Amino acid sequence: MKPDNDLVVLCHGQHDEVGLVCSIAVKEHSSASQKELFCNIQLRDKDGHVPTANPHQLLLDMKVRWSSTFVMLRRAYKMCEDVNYFVGRLTLQDRDALRCKKIASLELSEDEWSQVQKLLLILGVFFMLFFAELAQHSFSSEEGPTLHLALPALKALHSAWSSHSAWIKYIDFHQALDAAVDKISDYYMKSASSDAHIMAMLLDPTQKAAHIRRHWGNDLLHEVLENAKAMYKESYLEMHGDDAGKSSASTELCTSTGNHRLDVLLNELSDGDEDALDTPYQDPPTLSRTSSACLFDSVDPLKLWLHNFHAYLNSKDHLGGMSIVQWWVNSDSSRQSLDVHQTQVQYLQDRKVAGTHWS
């Protein structure tokens, strides 16, 4: 971008504040002497100015960088007095009257800096969503998966900017906010129809189906879980084969386990009630000592994939400082999820404990 380009755009008699700041930044970056001038302005101790300990350059907006408009405006706003002083010095240096007038027009008034502040508040919502709250993920595939964050972040951004659009304070930005909200809606709808985005959320142990349950309603939740179930079944059978679990499930261990949660879980896994686990677990009524139903008769050995699918979705998991990939690696043995061998061990433990109360 050439430093003499006119980036000062008038719209309904008003300057484009973003264009003003960008044009000043271009001027400051145009030569080594301009950079030195801006540095010296920050270090000056005249006119009651407090010297800056660590001088900074202005930042340029770049289309290829996340939130670069926000960081450009934030840097300029924090240094607004020095920025205006810099424009004044540039005006004094140029001997061409026409160019001097153009440079002088770059100086932002108090009202224009106030507009910059409001724009920072709007863009700051985006910045906080993608950088502050999600800083631990660095929004980089090199640090770990981030696709699961896309839909919740877009939803939060849509909600925040829709709210801002209704405020009188942001009346000058209503048109831009409405356009931004419409664009986010398009992104959200396209992403929401993607199996990859949905499965990424379901595979995040900290949210699973929480976002879908909260914002999409029961019908769409059921549709999502049915699709996820079909994909999981295909993947499970491809990895383990059709005979997975048959040999493990052949052991005859019968009657009540003495563990209410385990009894109900196993009963819900019986044929004809596959959808029972689509809703979160609720404590069952007290089971009597005489409740029977063979433990592994209740678990169809051909549907161990379904057992695993629901066991994962209905469990409460925490990352504990790990990335999602690390969590899945460390939890692989248990999150294929509560296989028959583990259920046998739990059954024997519960029966041993229960026996101490029944004897």
Model pLDDT, residue 73:
94
Q: Provide the residue ranges of all domains of the chain, joining segments of one domain with +.
A: 1-132, 240-358
Distance CA 353, CA 358 (A): 9
Average model confidence (pLDDT) for the chain? 73
**Given pLDDT bands bounded at 50, 70 and 90, which one contains residue 118?**
very high
Model pLDDT, residue 323:
76
At 63, the amino acid letter reads K
Question: Residue 334: pLDDT above 80?
Answer: no
**Given pLDDT bands bounded at 50, 70 and 90, which one contains residue 308?**
confident
pLDDT digits (tens, 9 = 90+) for 20-40: 999 999 999 999 999 999 999
Q: Between 229 and 323, where is the model more confident?
A: 229
At 299, the amino acid letter reads V
Q: Which of 87-91, 144-148, 220-224 has the lowest mean pLDDT?
A: 144-148
Q: What are phi and psi of 14, to 5 degrees?
A: -115, 150
pLDDT digits (tens, 9 = 90+) for 230-262: 888 888 888 877 655 554 443 333 333 333 433
Averaged pLDDT, 68-73: 90
**Given pLDDT bands bounded at 50, 70 and 90, which one contains residue 72?**
very high
For the entire predicted model, the pTM comes to: 0.61
